[in-house]
Structure 1
Amino acid sequence: MKGNAKLLVVLNQLLADELTAINQYMVHSEMCDNWGYGKLHKAIEGQAVDEMHHAEWLIRRILFLQGTPTVSNLNAIHIGSAIVDIISGDEEAEVAAVTAYNNAIALAREVKDQATADLLTKILAMEEAHVEWAEVQRAQIEQMGLQGYLANQAAD
């Protein structure tokens, strides 16, 4: 099925966002593992896996719409140097993703591609869950103090 050209461009932009997030989260996950923060390692690694699924689903949809997935484009990757920077940077990326997915959903509906809108809505819900996770982490840091939070993250 031939897809809308403008929507295919947006889907490839979302794909670049997802591929960038995978790289950023994998580095952050491994940094946490290296520092001994097993809980954070697993949580961030899980988010990277979610982003891999998103990329896979976007690639499938682009192919279905007879487009060409562009997997060679990455956005700037922002690697945090400390836990607070990692959580804040990843949260900023997720908030931007929520905006991008909402805009893409509106476009998909505008061009009457409900299946794409449904897929993007599914991904949007997962991105919103990632924002919520980051908000919880920041609240815990505020309530426990950074040292208490990090002590809690050291366990597996």
Structure 2
Amino acid sequence: MRHATVHPRTLGYLGRALSLEYSAVQQYMTQAALTEAWGLAEAADRFRRETVEEMQHAERLVKRMLGLGVSPNASQLRPANVARNLVDLLRQDAVLEAEIVALYNEATQFCRRIQDHENAEFFNGLLQDELHHAAEIETWLEALGVPRHQEPNERAYF
């Protein structure tokens, strides 16, 4: 598939997704270093694994964009957030993941509406990964004694 056959809005979703995935990489990498400095080795290891997962998502997006004949461009990298404790870090992550999930859901639905099945499946694959990751964050928070809480319209603004 080449650039001329892809809806411009689909290309916009790909660019925004790449920006969010790179932002997540930066976020989790920072949190790994921060929790390591706090002496929370297990948390640091988990954040490092999340960093790798998000880098793999970014790589999938880059390959997809190159395959479509467009240059990857993550133009809106967000600064990493820091917090005073692990719970607050995870709350920030839950907000970021909710935004990523919302974007992939919207992109999947749009591609389905325009009958771009290939890109719909691509976005849906990323959506499923991120839904799983968001659930892991919620489970981690619950294990730390934080009750499940989600704001339906909450988005990450850094």
Per the shorter chain, which TM-score range?
0.7 to 0.9
Q: Which amino acid aligns with 1:90?
A: D
Q: Structure 2: any 5+ residue segments left out of the alignment?
A: 147-158
- The residue type equivalent to 2:89 in the other structure is I
* Partners of 2:98 and 2:75 in 1: CA distance: 23
Structure 1 position 9, deviation (Å): 1.1
Q: Aligned to 2:117, which of 90, 114, 128?
A: 114
Aligned partner of 1:152 in structure 2 is none
Task: Give CA-to-partner distance per residue, 1:26-45, whole Å, 9 cap, x none.
Answer: 00011111222111111111
Q: Is the 8 A contact 2:16 2:74 kept in 1?
A: no
Aligned pair partner of 1:124 in 102, 105, 127: 127
Aligned residues: 143
Choose 83-92 or 2-11, whichever is displaced more.
Answer: 2-11
Of residues 80, 95, 99 in structure 1, which corresponds to 2:98? Answer: 95
Structure 1 residue runs of 5 or longer lacking an equivalent are: 144-156
User: For residue 9 of structure 1, what is the aligned residue in structure 2?
Assistant: 12
Asked which structure has the greater RCO (Cα within 8 Å, sep 6+), the reply is: 1
- SS of residue paired to 1:78: coil
**Cα deviation, residue 73, structure 1:** 2.8
Separation in 2, partners of 1:115, 1:46: 28
Check conservation: 2:30, 2:80, Cα contact below 8 A.
Answer: no
Aligned to 1:142, the other structure's residue is in SS state coil
RMSD: 1.5
User: Structure 1 length normalisation: TM-score?
Assistant: 0.85
CA contact (8 A) 1:95 1:131 kept: yes
- Using the TM superposition, give the Cα deviation of residue 76 of structure 1 relative to its aligned residue in structure 2, in angstroms: 4.2
Moved runs in structure 1, 4+ residues, more than 4 A? none
Normalising to structure 2: TM-score of the pair?
Answer: 0.84
Task: Find the counterpart in structure 2 of residue 33 from structure 1.
Answer: 36
* Residues in 2 aligned to 1:126 and 1:30: alpha-carbon distance in whole angstroms: 24
- What is the aligned partner in structure 1 of residue 149 from structure 2? none
**Percent of aligned positions with the same letter in both sequences?**
27
